[in-house]
Chain A
C-alpha cells in the first residue's frame, strides 16, 4: 500500500514534469526494466485522460443546465403546445377528409359497378360466358367470281362460303340432317356439304328453339340415300365416358376427343351435358358419339370463360324431337338398327362416319 502510493506519487511527478533531470533518467530506466511500473504509468496516463474527459463533460453539463435555466420555459412550452395542437388538428382534419373521401369513392364505385354488373348480367347472362360455336364466314372476296361460275353448274352449291357455318349429321339415310337451331336461324338458304366436297341444297323442316335443334332435309335430286352406320342412344351416358366428335370448324372435317365432364350443361341446364372436348366455332351441330359409335349428343356451344369446356344437347332430346316431328316427315325407322361401328377402331369408325357429317352453310 505504502509502496504503491510512493510509486503513484513518482508517476505523477514524472508525468507532470516535476522531476529533476537525474530523477527522470532514473525513472525512465525503471520503466524500461520493470514492465509493471511501465504499465502503471500508462494506466495512469489513460486514467488522467478519462478524468479530464469526465471533468470537461461535467463542466459542459453544468453550462448546459445554466443555459437551460435561462430559457423562457413557459413561453416555449406554450409555443410548442400550440404548434403541436395545430399540427394535430391539421392531421386529424386531413385524415378525416381523406377517410370520408375514400369512403365516398368506394360507395360510389360499388353502387355504380353493382348497377353495371346487374344490368350486364340480366342482359347478357348467357352470351357473357356461353358462346355458340357456329362459324362466321366472312371471306367474301372469294365469292365475287364464284357466284358467276355458279350460274353454269346447277348441281353445285354456290362457292360463296356463306355467312355462317356449322356442322350437321344425318339422322336418316334419306337426307334428314340434324344441326343446331342457332346455326340455321334466320337463314335465307342452307347448303350442306360433305367431306367429299359434294354440296346439296337443304331446307329446314323442323326447329326447336328450346333444345336448340333443327332438322334439315336435303332437297337435292343428286342426293343418294344410304343406310346410317350409327344409331341414336337415348339413354343418358355416364360421367367420364369417353366421347368423340367430328365437325367443320374449318373447311376440312376435324376430329376431336374428350369425355363427359358433367351431366348438366351451361348454368345447370339438364337438357345438356358438359363435355370436355376441344370445340371451335363451326362445331355447332356436330354429333357427339360414344366409343361404340352411337350418337349421345349434339355439340351446341362452349364456355368462353374457360378453355376446353363445351356443351352438348342430350340425344334424348333429339329422339324426342324426332318423335314429335309431323308424321309425314318421319325418319324414325332408320334409327331402329344397331350401330355398325361397335368394335371397330377409331380410325375405321371415323372413315365410316365422315360421309354422314356435313358442313352446314348458311346464307342470309
Chain B
C-alpha cells in the first residue's frame, strides 16, 4: 500500500519533470542524492563522482520522461539508484580497468537497456558540445541566444553591437554554417 502511494507520488513528480517544473526536479534531486552519494562514497568514489553520476542519472530520467512511452514500473528511488549503480560501474570500469563492486543487498533493477539509449543521446550531445565549443565564443553566444534562448535578432544585434539586425543575421548564418559543418562531420561518422 505504502509502495503504491510512493509510486503515485513518484509519477506525479515525473509528470512535473516532463513539463519542466523546477520544483519537481528539486524534490527529486534532494530526495535521492544522499542515497547515491552514500553508495558512491562506499565504493571508493568521491563527492564529485557522486554528483556526476547522479546528474547523469537525472538526465537519463529526464530523457525518459520526454518520450511519452515511459512508465515508471518501480519506485523512483530504485530506478535512480540502479541507473547510478550501472553508471558508476561503467565509470570505474573505464578508469581503473577491471574492478568488481561488492555485491549489493539493496533492490536493484536492470538498467542496462535504459542506459543504451542514453548513451546514443549522450554521444550526440557530446558532438554538439564539441562543435559548439570550437566555433568560438561570439558565434556560440549568438547561436545560443537565437536558437536556445529564443531571443530576437534585434536584441542580439543590440547586445553584440551590430549596426542592424540584418548584419547580425548574416553573422548568425555564418556561425550556423560552421556549426552545422562541424556537427555533421562527426555525426555522420560517429566514433
**Least distance between B30 CB and chain A CB atoms (Å):** 6
Does A48 sit within 8 A of B, measured CB to CB? yes
Residues of A within 8 A of B41 (CB): 80-81, 84
Chain A's closest residue to B126 (CB) is: A54
Looking at the complex, which of B2-10, B55-63, B68-76, B83-91 is the stretch in contact with chain A? B55-63
Let me know if A9 and B173 touch, CB within 8 A.
Answer: yes
CB atoms of A67 and B177 under 8 A apart: no
B59 touching A84, Cβ below 8 Å: no
B20-36 vs A, Cβ < 8 Å mask (1 yes, 0 no): 00100110011001100
| Cβ B26 vs Cβ A67 within 8 A | yes
Contacts of A5 in B (CB 8 A): 170, 173-174, 177
Assess the B25–A67 pair: CB atoms within 8 A.
yes
Residues in A whose Cβ lies below 8 Å from that of B169: 9
Q: Is the CB of A63 within 8 A of B125?
A: no
The reply to whether A53 and B125 contact each other, CB–CB distance below 8 Å, is yes
Q: A235-287: which have CB < 8 Å to B?
A: none
Interface size of A as a range:
35 or more
Q: Which residues of A contact B14 (CB under 8 A)?
A: none
Chain A-chain B contacts (Cβ-Cβ < 8 Å), number? 90
Report the count of interface residues on B (CB-CB < 8 A): 37
Partner of A55 from B25, B59, B147, B180 at Cβ < 8 Å? B147
A67 vs B22: C-alpha distance when bound (angstroms): 9
Interface assignment of A140: CB less than 8 Å from any CB of chain B: no
Please determine whether A64 and B121 come into contact, CB atoms closer than 8 angstroms. no
Measured CA separation A5–B175 after assembly (Å) = 10
Q: What are the residues of chain B within 8 A of A63 when measuring CB–CB?
A: 22, 25
User: B29–A68 contact, CB under 8 A?
Assistant: yes
Which of chain A's residues has its CB closest to B183's CB?
A47
- Contact assessment for B33 and A76 in the assembled complex, using a CB-CB cutoff below 8 Å: yes
A50 adjacent to chain B (CB < 8 Å): yes
Q: Tell yes or no: A83 within 8 A of B by CB.
A: yes
Of B59, B121, B173, the contact of A61 (CB 8 Å cutoff): B59
A47 to B59 CA separation, bound complex (whole angstroms): 21
Give, as a whole number of angstroms, the nearest-CB distance from A71 to chain B: 6
A57 touches B125 (CB 8 A): yes
- CB-defined interface of A73-92 with B at 8 Å, one 1/0 digit per residue? 10011011101100100000
User: Are A8 and B177 within 8 A (Cβ)?
Assistant: yes
Q: Is the CB of B55 within 8 A of A64?
A: yes
Complex CA–CA separation, A7 to B81 (angstroms): 48
Across-interface contacts of A55 in B (CB, < 8 A): 144, 147-148
**Chain B residues near A50 (CB-CB < 8 A):** 124, 128, 183, 187
Interface digits, B37-62 against A, CB 8 Å rule (1 contact, 0 not)? Answer: 11001100001000100010011001
A-side contacts of B29, CB under 8 Å: 64, 67-68, 71
Q: Is B99 an interface residue (CB 8 A)?
A: no
How many whole Å from A23's CB to the nearest CB in chain B?
Answer: 17
| B132 lies within 8 A of chain A by Cβ | yes
**B177 CB contacts on chain A under 8 angstroms:** 4-5, 8
- How far is A73 from B50 in the complex, measured between Cα atoms in Å? 12
B22, A71: Cβ atoms closer than 8 Å: no
- Cα of A67 to Cα of B187 in the assembled complex, Å: 32
Extra contacts, 13 of them, besides A53-B125, A54-B148, A70-B26 (Cβ < 8 A), are A5-B173, A12-B173, A47-B183, A52-B148, A54-B129, A57-B62, A59-B148, A60-B62, A63-B25, A64-B55, A68-B33, A71-B30, A87-B42
Q: Footprint of B on A, CB under 8 Å?
A: 4-5, 8-9, 12, 43-44, 47-48, 50-55, 57-61, 63-65, 67-68, 70-71, 73, 76-77, 79-81, 83-84, 87
